[in-house]
Amino acid sequence: MSETTKRSRWASDEEEEPIEKPVKQQKTAPAPPPQSKAVRQVIMRTKQPEAKQYPYLRECRHVDCFERLNHIEEGSYGIVFRARDKETGEIVALKKLKLNPEAGGFPVTSLREIHALMTIKHPNIVNVREIVMGNHMDQVFIVMDFIDHDLKGLMSDMRSPFLQSEIKTLMIQLLSAVALMHDNWIIHRDLKTSNLLLNNRGEIKVADFGLARKYGSPMGNMTQLVVTLWYRAPELLLGSKEYTTAIDMWSVGCIFAELLNNEALLPGRSEIDQLDRIFKLLGTPTEEIWTGFSELPHAKNIAPIYQPYSSLRSKFTTLTQAGLDLLSKLLTYDPAKRYTAEEALQHPYFDESPAPKDPSMFPTWPSKGSGHKKRDFSPSAPAAAHGIAEEEPGLAGTIFGGQTESTGFRLKLG
C-alpha cells in the first residue's frame, strides 16, 4: 500500500473556498448588566472577557490545530486569516509572518512585533493568545482574538461620519492604548485607521506592530522609513535622523481628523506632495514656530509657497473650539511641543457636551472579516528590509532616498 502524506491547508497562502462545519453551541456566561452613564474612566477601563492564557515556556502547537476559514487581508509584514480552534471551537485571527530565512534568519521586525504584543496587555490593544508553527521554520503564526472590523474598511461603508460622542469614545480608547505603549518604551511607528480594529461592543484595538520597537533614552538614530505616508510626521519627511514618540502622536492627529470627516486628512501621492499638503493645511513652518526646522537635512532643498496661517478651521467647520484646539495640538509642527497621549487625555474636549458614548451603546455592523468582500484601498507601511540595523546611511527613507510602492516618484538631486 502506497504511503500518502496529508497536505495542510496552511501550506499555501492562496485563498480556498472554506467549508464551515457546524459547531456545537457552547454555554456562555450571562451578559453583564448594562453600564451606567459613560464617563472617561469607564471607557478606559472596559472589562474584557478573560482569554485563555498560555505560558511562555511550552511547546508551540501546530497550525493544523486550527481550521482555516477565510483570508482577511495582507499587509507588509504578514497575511491574516480567520480560523477556528479545533479544540475549543473559538473563532480567532491567525497572522502568518512573512519570513525569508535565507536573508539572515528570523527577521528582527517579527521578533519586535511578537515581543511587543506578548508583553503589553491593554483592553485597547489586540490580544495575542499564542504562537503556533507550521511544518517549516518559515511558517510562524501569531494567534490573536478575532475582531469584527478594521476602522478604515468600516468607515468606507458608513454614509456619514461617527457622532461626536462616538469619536470621543474612540479617541479616549486610542489615546489610552498609545499612552501605555509609550509608558512601556514602545513606539508603534505605523498608526493608521486600517491598523485599528473595532468590535461590535464599541471597543477599539490597536493592531499590526510590524514596525513597532523598543526605544531608550536618548533614542538615538533609528530608521527613517517608517509610518505609512498619509500619517507620516513632517520631521520624518524632512529627513530628521532622530525622532521621538511624537511621530505616533502626529498619526493620532491624522486619525482624529479622519474620524471627523470620514476621509483621509492628507492623502499624499509622494513625499513631496505630502509635504505640500501639510504646508497648505497648517501653514509654512518657520524657525519661530518650529525650533530647529531650518537645520533639518531637507529643509533647504524645498521651496514651498509661503502660507502664514493654518486652514484647519475652514476644513472642520462643525468642530468645537476645544476640539479644534486638540487637533491643532496633535498636529503641531515642533515635535517637542506636540501633545503627548497623557496630555491629550486631559484635554477639555472630552469634558464638554456631548459626553463620550458608552461603548456598549455603539451600533453594530456586519463583519467584513467573516466574508470575502473586497477591501477599499489603503496605503501600505514602508517595507523595510528584515533584519537590517536601524542606522541607515545616506538618504534612505527620506524624500530623496529610495522609494517604496506607497511613496510615489523619486526626486533626483543635482
Residues belonging to the active site: 190
- List the grid coordinates of 248: 505616533
Q: What is the C-alpha to C-alpha distance for residues 113 and 209, in angstroms, rounded to an integer?
A: 5
Q: What is the C-alpha to C-alpha distance for residues 157 and 370, in angstroms, rounded to an integer?
A: 16
Taking every pair of C-alpha atoms in the chain, what is the biggest distance, in angstroms?
A: 83
Nearest to 363 by CA among 68, 112, 160: 160
What number of H helices and E strands is found in the chain? Answer: 10, 10
- Is 358 in contact with 38 (CB distance < 8 Å)? yes
- Is 97 in contact with 141 (CB distance < 8 Å)? yes
Q: Which amino acid is residue 74, in one-letter code?
A: E
Q: What is the C-alpha to C-alpha distance for residues 368 and 43, in angstroms, rounded to an integer?
A: 25
- Is 89 in contact with 23 (CB distance < 8 Å)? yes
Residue 397 region by backbone torsions, left for phi larger than 0, else alpha for psi between -120 and 50, else beta: left
If DSSP codes are grouped into helix, strand and coil, which group holds residue 121?
coil
Q: Which amino acid is residue 192, in one-letter code?
A: K
